[in-house]
Homo-oligomer: A and B are copies of this chain.
Amino acid sequence: MSVTVINYDQDMSRWEPDARGRLEQAALELYSERGFEQTTVVEIAARAGLTERTFFRHFADKREVLFGGAPALQELMVGAVADAPDSIAPIVAVTAALEAAGAVFQDRRESVRRRQTVIAANAELQERELIKLASLASALASALRRRGVSDPAASLTAEAGIAVFKIAFERWTTDTDQRDLSQVIRQSLDELKAVTAAT
């Protein structure tokens, strides 16, 4: 799926350089300025200097503009679990996946923060985000099973990883200090270990 999208983008870019990226940027600006509900596809396309038809070549609807990166993110994280050395523990493989994702977000801090603000203001978008996170947990659990990790360890490790990611991500997008997301992820994981070990 994401491979198709990537090829398609490369193909499109001969005609409309980075149409997809321009649409994402325009949508985020408009959602921030006037709210998700008040923004139309026509307005997004106009802001990007593209047509409505081009918008629909890239995205099914205005909600999907915010989640267009999910398949590539999932592929990146599943790949990190698959590529981790055989000898390492499942949670360490999942941590590698979280840090790979963290590096991608770190490079786009401002737009990631703006996206989170848009999502936090809309219940329907929050639900969509939850579904994407659940799908990611499920994909990571499958990747662990392919490494020979049995259940429930595979599912628990994946769910724990996504819980850490969710909380680290929220902290990083709202924190005023300039810590790296990877650093917040590692701290959150250490804190998860501490809270679960307490008796």
Contacts from A to B (Cβ < 8 Å): 89-92, 127, 130-131, 134, 152-153, 155-157, 159-160, 162-164, 166-167, 170-171, 188-189, 191-199
Residue of B nearest to A168 (CB): B152
Nearest 5 CB-CB pairings of A with B: A89-B198, A159-B163, A157-B195, A193-B196, A156-B192
Can you add 5 more A-B contacts, CB < 8 Å, to A153-B194, A163-B163, A197-B197?
A: A91-B198, A130-B134, A159-B166, A159-B167, A192-B196
Total identical chains: 2
Contact residues of A: prevailing secondary structure: helix
Residue of B nearest to A129 (CB): B134
Q: How far is the CB of A74 from chain B (nearest CB, A)?
A: 16
Q: Is the CB of B171 within 8 A of A164?
A: no
List the B side residues contacting A198 at CB < 8 Å: 89-92
List the B side residues contacting A152 at CB < 8 Å: 167, 171, 188, 191
